[in-house]
Amino acid sequence: MTTGEKIAALRKEQGMSQEALGEKLGLSRQAVSKWEADQAVPTMDNLMELSKLFGVPVDTLLRPDAELMPKAEDSDESWPGAENQPVRNGNRKWKIAAIAAAGLLCVSVVCSAVSLWRVLAMQQQIDTLRMQSGPSTIYYPDNTSAENSDLADWSENVTVDPQNADNLLVTVSAVPKEMLDGETAKFVVRSGDQSWECDAENKNGYSGKISVPLVDTFSVYLTLTSTDGEIRNIMVASEYDLKQRFSLEVRAWWENGSFSFNGKTTSASGNVATHIYCGDDSVTPVSGRILLYQNGKQIKEKKIENIETGVSGDVYYYTQVDWRDLEGGFDQYQLKAEITDNYGRVYSSEFFQ
């Protein structure tokens, strides 16, 4: 298991959401999500906190070959049979105590050295993982190096479908170690109890493209059927956090200012903050506006200026609005932000007052 998979498994085992875990660590939900997607690696401080929280050693979180096991608790029990050992005289007792103290000192020195070595080794491992991962690296199961793998080579890529922006386009190729004469092949994408498939084209290996709805997770399989009807299913890759990666999250609020009522009319004046989270730099905002509603009907709008394209992560914009002499009380009015991405999809924040 990867570090991200272990964090996700331990979090779910304790019944925590990504947001709840982030709060315990003083981090955002997005930070936890990136860890679990192996798009980022926790710092040593965060790993130590995770170790305490979940009760597992830090190196277990880092090492792919380490199974998730609880931390060993320090034992308060005496040495087995110690209570049955006779003490012949006081001198012997003090000699034993001195030898034990010297032994404990040696053990302490050795343990300290080992602990320091392990911390340095773990820090080096973290630095290596950071260099390998980068901000947009996605983890795929490497079937070519897995034991008993049936694939000699494979590749897989996911993008927003240019023909249908509500779907994802999965482009996949795979070369089985054994290709049989006359066998037929297809690629199948599975998400829960849903599946989508396409016939695979054979050109020194199999390739295909499948358009699938924007689900959150899926796995891609190569299904091979021999001439005598024998079926082989080979997993090619798995994807997760797709909705976050291929759509935008939008929130908006008053940075300063508010609605006000003078007894006759309402004013909406101040600076509106709009927060956009872009999970992948292939999906970016291109335009936006602040909308004013009265009793559920849009009556005014203000363009969000200087929206930057080709960005990823957290982006903030601030828009000055000044709408005055609005009829009725301020409880009739609400604001929200509306953002359009580079595929023409529209996202809205929740209403706020």
Joined together, the tokens standing for residue 143 give 């079937």
CATH number of residue 199's parent domain:
2.60.40.10
Domain that holds residue 54: 3-73+90-133
56, 114, 125, 126, 353 from 119: Cα distances, Å: 15, 9, 10, 10, 50
Q: Can you tell me whether residue 332 is helix, strand or coil?
A: helix
φ/ψ (deg, to 5) at 290: -100, 125
Strands 248-261 and 167-176: unpaired
**Same domain, yes or no, for 48 and 8?**
yes
* Residue 306: inside a domain: yes
* Residue 26: inside a domain: yes
The three-point CA angle 208-214-220 to 5° equals 35
255 and 229 in contact (C-beta within 8 Å)?
no
* Residue 139: inside a domain: no
**Same domain, yes or no, for 33 and 128?**
yes
Specify the pLDDT at position 341: 93
**Same domain, yes or no, for 306 and 195?**
no
* Residue 292: inside a domain: yes
* Residue 117: inside a domain: yes
Q: Can you tell me whether residue 305 is helix, strand or coil?
A: coil
Number of other CB atoms surrounding residue 163 within 10 Å = 8
Specify the pLDDT at position 321: 96
Specify the pLDDT at position 146: 36
Give pLDDT < 70 ranges for the chain.
69-149
**Same domain, yes or no, for 32 and 11?**
yes
**Same domain, yes or no, for 269 and 299?**
yes
**Same domain, yes or no, for 265 and 335?**
yes
**Same domain, yes or no, for 17 and 129?**
yes
* Final residue belonging to a domain, choices 213, 238, 263: 238
Specify the pLDDT at position 167: 95
* Residue 84: inside a domain: no
**Same domain, yes or no, for 217 and 110?**
no
* Final residue belonging to a domain, choices 174, 208, 238: 238
**Same domain, yes or no, for 177 and 233?**
yes
**Same domain, yes or no, for 69 and 167?**
no
Specify the pLDDT at position 123: 53
Q: Can you tell me the distance from the alpha carbon of 89 to that of 80, in angstroms, rounded to the nearest whole number?
A: 21
* Residue 109: inside a domain: yes
**Same domain, yes or no, for 42 and 126?**
yes
**Same domain, yes or no, for 8 and 129?**
yes
CATH number of residue 59's parent domain:
1.10.260.40
Q: What is the pTM of this model?
A: 0.56
Q: Can you tell me the distance from the alpha carbon of 143 to that of 233, in angstroms, rounded to the nearest whole number?
A: 13
* Final residue belonging to a domain, choices 238, 259, 293: 238
* Residue 115: inside a domain: yes
144, 160, 216, 286, 344 from 165: Cα distances, Å: 32, 6, 15, 15, 8
Domain count, the chain: 3
